[in-house]
Structure 1
Amino acid sequence: MASIFFHQADRTFPFKQKQVLKQFLAGVFTKEHHTLKRVDYIFCSDEYLLGINQQFLQHDTYTDIITFDLTEDRAAGIVAEIYISVDRVKANALEHDTHFTDEMVRVLVHGILHLCGYKDKTPIEQTLMREKEAEYINLFESL
């Protein structure tokens, strides 16, 4: 059975509709024609995620999300760990004048889209990624 789990490293993620959100996120895989086996979201601080970024990606910058695809057999389903800085999501929401929940949903979906093969290195890839994020934010808001 497909599973999405929320964990806390050193930050909490206060969300009133966690089960609805988990079902929604699992549905993103289905809509993108991918099979989900297990995704673990780990909510953390800027400093915690910076350490992961430095250790595993050799990047010395803050980021809102790091996605590790741990899938061994795609036919059996995607397995991943997704680390999200709650601090960075809050800062991004303020910077972009949006609600924290909308920004968090964007980041949660962003990780899934990477797992489904979407990239965001080039301007064209970034545009497609933003369009897909907006599509799923709107879908979540309509629930």
Structure 2
Amino acid sequence: MINFNYESEFTLENEEAIASWLSAVIVSENKTEGEINYIFCDDEYLHKINVEYLNHDTLTDIISFDYTMGNEIGGDIFVSVERVLDNSKDYNTSFDEELKRVLVHGVLHYCGYKDKSEADEILMRSKEDEKLTMFHVEQ
């Protein structure tokens, strides 16, 4: 089950479409959907989590806590809406596209994809692009 929670003024306009797409992404990776909670927040909220739990004193767009067990993926994914907005400007893309990229990025981590090395990052970007295409096909 995919849940959306809000710790900021932001709310998704198309929760059902996003949840359906993310569910399809999980199936396309031969995984089973467990409970995935997205928590939308601001920079300050996510920064506190980054410092307290990860000992990183930086701003970030996403932090995920992975509770995957075997083939059933699940976890809590915190998303800074402020960071996504800034990144969309930096990468010259729409807020909607950048938000979908971040949302699928979290799920892809749960599916086993990493982004620490350059090779891993290239594969992650490729998978993000592939899964973003799935959203456009479904709509």
Pairing 1:98–2:93 present: yes
Deviation at 1:10, TM superposition (A): 2.4
Structure-2 residue corresponding to 1:114 = 109
Amino acid at match of 1:44: C
CA contact (8 A) 1:70 1:78 kept: yes
Amino acid at match of 2:11: F
> Cα deviation per residue 1:114-140 (whole Å; 9 max; x = unaligned)?
000000000000000000111111221
Gaps of 5+ in 2: none
CA contact (8 A) 1:37 1:78 kept: yes
Deviation at 1:109, TM superposition (A): 0.2
Deviation at 1:20, TM superposition (A): 1.1
Deviation at 1:58, TM superposition (A): 0.3
Structure-2 residue corresponding to 1:47 = 44
Structure-2 residue corresponding to 1:57 = 54
Structure-1 residue corresponding to 2:134 = 139
**CA RMSD of superposed structures (Å):** 1.1
CA contact (8 A) 1:70 1:79 kept: yes
Gaps of 5+ in 1: none
Calculate the TM-score normalised by the size of structure 2.
0.94
Deviation at 1:11, TM superposition (A): 3.8
Pairing 1:37–2:34 present: yes
CA contact (8 A) 1:43 1:83 kept: yes
2:7 to 9, 14, 17: 9
CA contact (8 A) 1:13 1:86 kept: no
Calculate the TM-score normalised by the size of structure 1.
0.92
- 3-state SS in 2 of match to 1:78: strand
Amino acid at match of 1:47: E
- Out of 131-140 and 46-55, give the one that drifted further: 131-140
**1:60-99 maps to which residues of 2 (within 5 A)?**
60-71=57-68, 73-75=69-71, 77-99=72-94
Structure 1 runs (4+) deviating above 4 angstroms are none
What is the CA–CA distance in structure 2 between the aligned matches of 1:34 and 1:88, rounded to whole Å?
29
